[in-house]
Amino acid sequence: MIELYLDTADVAQTKRFNQCLPLQGITTNPTILAKSKQGLNETLKEMQDALGGKPRFHAQVVSTSIEGMVEEARQINELPYDMVVKIPATETGLAAIKLTKAQGIKVLATAIYSAQQGFLAALCGADYLAPYVNRIDALNGNGVEVVADLQLLLDQNQLPAKILAASFKNTQQAMEVMKLGIEAITLPVDVAAAMFAHPAVEPAVAQFGHDWKQAFGDKLSFES
Ligand code: E4P
């Protein structure tokens, strides 16, 4: 089954969606945390309370050198949660991914804008690959096509890396990549909400209520 994440640091929204969706956990990035004005430690603590159980958290390094990323990854991995360390799939990042994986730490290669870049990260041992679907589209590329090509390369080479598709602005983009059979996806809260919000749904449910009340008043179904 696909792993479903929310791409957010918003604890209230996480509580809301955890009630109605089978969330695997949360993904964050430095921009999301900066906007929330709350650091990683406090955010993870509150997210753990909000989600309960054993959620998986994806948190990104902010170091810029190979050694810095590897050490930061080690420290993130020491946090008392199920952590996946996000490392950008740059030249420096790929080197850090190789070294971090040698220590047995779970890694997500992030900031993926092309299939070949994601493929190299998978060869370096990344457990998850995060292609940025909407950002690719916004650059006049085709995010869905990048995900499809990347999945093909993973399959042909029997690589175990999972695509965790990221960066969505609408449900259509999310649907298109899910139809490719990817193994994980992270949605911002507005796109997650739009997944079950069709303009016809509420009127349909209201009509059921109206018809029922007319015939049976306040009785519940089993009382009728
Ligand atoms: C995931 O790894 C990224 O942090 C995130 O999904 C990017 O999303 P955005 O393009 O909406 O910023």
The answer as to whether 47 is a domain residue is yes
pLDDT of residue 176: 98
d(CA 154, CA 174) in angstroms, rounded, equals 20
pLDDT of residue 209: 97
Nearest CA, atom 7, ligand 1: 167
Catalytic residues: 86
The C-alpha torsion from 97 through 93 and 112 to 167, rounded to 10°, is 90
**Domain harbouring 137, CATH code:** 3.20.20.70
The answer as to whether 119 is a domain residue is yes
d(CA 89, CA 128) in angstroms, rounded, equals 11
The answer as to whether 71 is a domain residue is yes
CA 202 / ligand 1 centre spacing (Å): 30
The answer as to whether 222 is a domain residue is no
pLDDT of residue 127: 98
Number of domains comprising the chain: 1
pLDDT of residue 155: 97
CA 208 / ligand 1 centre spacing (Å): 39
The answer as to whether 215 is a domain residue is no
Nearest CA, atom 11, ligand 1: 167
The answer as to whether 217 is a domain residue is no
Domain hosting residue 100, numbered range: 3-197
pLDDT digits (tens, 9 = 90+) for 40-50: 999 999 999 99
Q: Is the C-beta atom of 137 inside 6 A of ligand 1?
A: no
Stretches where the chain sits below pLDDT 70 are none
Atom of ligand 1 nearest to the CA of 108: 2
pLDDT of residue 21: 95
The answer as to whether 49 is a domain residue is yes
pLDDT of residue 7: 98
The answer as to whether 209 is a domain residue is no
Predicted structure pTM score: 0.95
Atom of ligand 1 nearest to the CA of 110: 2
Do the Cβ atoms of 82 and 74 come closer than 8 Å? no
CA 188 / ligand 1 centre spacing (Å): 8
Q: How many CB atoms sit inside 10 A of residue 168's CB?
A: 26
